Amino acid sequence: MLKKLVAGFPVYLNVYDLTPINGYAYWLGLGVYHSGVQVHGVEYGFGAHERETTGIFLVEPTHCPGFTFRKSIFIGTTDLGPQDVSAFMDRVSHHYSGNTYHLISKNCNHFCNDVCLRLTDNSIPRWVNRLARLGHLCNCVLPPDLQETKIDSSRGRVIESGKNKTNKKLRRRANEYQDPRLEIAASDYISIEF
């Protein structure tokens, strides 16, 4: 008897340790984590910067610079193909500008949960962002500089978004991930700047 294969493309949450203490904290259901959503061989993350442009960036899956990879978690499947995911990320990018990043209320894990819900109807595991939820409850005791922590989004490509689609650019730095499938899929609505 043949089993019916699940339709759609797999979506993974890639989880990274931000600190070596996670080796112990993980077993207690705590830890400080970075996460990215992997779909179609590309990992999308969210980071902070001072500009009003998007904080969404792309990296090679499981290789986000500056973090230690912990694990990939299968979240579900999406029916969106590569071009549709690129267009979806372009639409989402308007809600995730780098200057709106907030360690407690709008961080990379919030972004990943939002994207996973929209792509698969499934949330990310609660432990990934547990510390931010606890921090939200105790926000009044956190120092202001911790609440405003900015993460350098130059770890990957940044999708520039604007009103005019011809002005959207996928910026590339010498050390970042390049997926030819994404560039071909995205060429319909963004220009590539070298």
Q: What is the CATH number of the domain that holds 100?
A: 3.90.1720.30
How far lies 92's CA from each of 18, 44, 89, 187, in Å?
A: 25, 11, 5, 18
Percent of the chain residues topping a pLDDT of 90: 49
pTM of the predicted model over 0.75: no
Average the pLDDT over 88-92 and give the result: 95
Name which of 169, 188, 164 is nearest 58 in CA terms.
Answer: 169
pLDDT band at 50 (very low <50, low <70, confident <90, very high): confident
Is it the case that residue 85 has pLDDT exceeding 90? yes
Residue 77 domain-assigned (yes or no): yes
Cα distances (Å, whole numbers) of residue 42 to 10, 54, 135: 12, 17, 30
Asked if residues 4 and 14 have their Cβ atoms less than 8 Å apart, the reply is no
Residue 118, domain extent: 9-193
The more confident residue out of 21 and 58 is 58
Residue 63 lies in a domain: yes
The residue with greater pLDDT, 91 or 135, is 91
Confidence of residue 189 (pLDDT cuts 50, 70, 90): very low
State the residue for tokens 């911790």. Answer: 146
Q: Does the structure show a pLDDT above 50 at 9?
A: yes
Q: What is the pLDDT of residue 135?
A: 56
With respect to residue 2, please indicate whether it lies within any of the assigned structural domains: no
26 falls within a domain: yes
Tens-place pLDDT, residues 132-186: 766 545 554 444 554 444 444 444 444 444 433 332 333 333 234 444 444 433 3
Give 39's pLDDT tier (boundaries 50, 70, 90).
very high
Greatest pairwise CA separation for the chain in angstroms = 60
Burial 30-54 (b: 16+ CB within 10 A, else e): ebebbbbbbbbebbbbbbbbeeebb
Residues 6+ apart with CB under 8 A from 66: 152, 155
> Which residues are tagged catalytic?
34, 108
Whether residue 34 lies inside any domain: the answer is yes
Structurally, the chain folds into a number of domains equal to 1
Average per-residue pLDDT in the chain? 74
Q: Residue written as tokens 């061989």?
A: 41
Cβ atoms of 146 and 125 closer than 8 Å:
no
Residue 3 lies in a domain: no
pLDDT tens across 55-75, in order? 999 999 999 999 999 999 999
Looking at the domain assignment, is residue 1 inside a domain?
Answer: no
Task: Between 20 and 193, name the one with better pLDDT.
Answer: 20
* Helices and strands (H, E) in the chain, number of each type: 6, 8
Mean local confidence (pLDDT), 20-25 = 82
Whether residue 95 has pLDDT greater than 80: yes
